[in-house]
Chains A and B, each alone.
Chain A
Amino acid sequence: MPLGISCCAIEMMAFAGPRFDVSRFGAEVFRFSPRQSDLLIVAGTVTYKMAKVVRKIYDQMPDPKWVISMGVCASSGGMYRSYSVVQGIDQFVPVDVYVAGCPPRPDSVLKALMEIQKKISRGNHPGQVGGKVSPEFDHEKILIE
Chain B
Amino acid sequence: MKEEVESRLRSSLGDAIVSVDEFNEQVSIEIKRDRITDVCKILKEELGFNYLSDLCGADMLNYDDASARKAYLAIEHEHRPHQVPNEERFLVVYQLTSLKDKSGDSDLGKRLRLKVKVDGDNPVCPSITSVFKSANWYEREAFDMFGIEFEGHPDMRRMYMPEEYEYYPLRKDFPLMGVPGSIPLPRR
Chain A residues within CB distance 8 Å of chain B: 48-49, 51-52, 55, 81-84, 86, 91-94
- Minimal beta-carbon separation of B153 from chain A (angstroms): 23
> Residues of A contacting B176 with CB < 8 Å?
81-83
Number of residues on chain B facing chain A (CB within 8 A): 15
- Minimal beta-carbon separation of A61 from chain B (angstroms): 15
B188 is an interface residue with CB less than 8 A from chain A: yes
10 A-B pairs with the lowest CB-CB distances in the bound complex, closest first: A83-B178, A55-B186, A48-B183, A92-B186, A92-B188, A92-B185, A49-B162, A51-B185, A83-B169, A52-B186
Contact B186 A83, beta carbon cutoff 8 Å:
no
> Residues of B contacting A81 with CB < 8 Å?
176-177
- The secondary-structure label for the interface of chain B is loop
- Minimal beta-carbon separation of B159 from chain A (angstroms): 12
User: Nearest residue in A to B188 (C-beta to C-beta)?
Assistant: A92
- The secondary-structure label for the interface of chain A is loop
- Minimal beta-carbon separation of A49 from chain B (angstroms): 5
Measured in the bound complex, the distance between the Cα atoms of B182 and A48 in whole Å is 10
- Minimal beta-carbon separation of A16 from chain B (angstroms): 28
Contact B178 A84, beta carbon cutoff 8 Å:
yes
User: Nearest residue in B to A94 (C-beta to C-beta)?
Assistant: B188
Measured in the bound complex, the distance between the Cα atoms of B176 and A36 in whole Å is 40
> Residues of B contacting A48 with CB < 8 Å?
162, 183, 185
Contact A82 B178, beta carbon cutoff 8 Å:
yes
B187 is an interface residue with CB less than 8 A from chain A: yes
B63 is an interface residue with CB less than 8 A from chain A: no
Measured in the bound complex, the distance between the Cα atoms of B162 and A82 in whole Å is 16
B161 is an interface residue with CB less than 8 A from chain A: yes
Contact A83 B177, beta carbon cutoff 8 Å:
yes
> Residues of B contacting A92 with CB < 8 Å?
185-188
Contact B177 A91, beta carbon cutoff 8 Å:
no
Measured in the bound complex, the distance between the Cα atoms of B30 and A48 in whole Å is 38
Contact A82 B177, beta carbon cutoff 8 Å:
yes
Measured in the bound complex, the distance between the Cα atoms of B179 and A28 in whole Å is 42
> Residues of B contacting A52 with CB < 8 Å?
186
User: Nearest residue in A to B167 (C-beta to C-beta)?
Assistant: A83
- Minimal beta-carbon separation of A91 from chain B (angstroms): 6
> Residues of B contacting A49 with CB < 8 Å?
161-162, 183
Contact A83 B185, beta carbon cutoff 8 Å:
no
Supplied contacts A81-B177, A92-B185, A92-B187, 8 more A-B pairs, CB within 8 Å: A51-B185, A52-B186, A82-B176, A82-B177, A82-B178, A83-B177, A84-B160, A92-B186
> Residues of A contacting B161 with CB < 8 Å?
49, 84
Contact B185 A91, beta carbon cutoff 8 Å:
yes
25 contacts between A and B (CB under 8 A): A48-B162, A48-B183, A48-B185, A49-B162, A49-B183, A51-B185, A52-B186, A55-B186, A81-B177, A82-B177, A83-B174, A83-B175, A83-B177, A84-B160, A84-B161, A84-B169, A84-B183, A91-B185, A91-B188, A92-B185, A92-B186, A92-B187, A92-B188, A93-B188, A94-B188
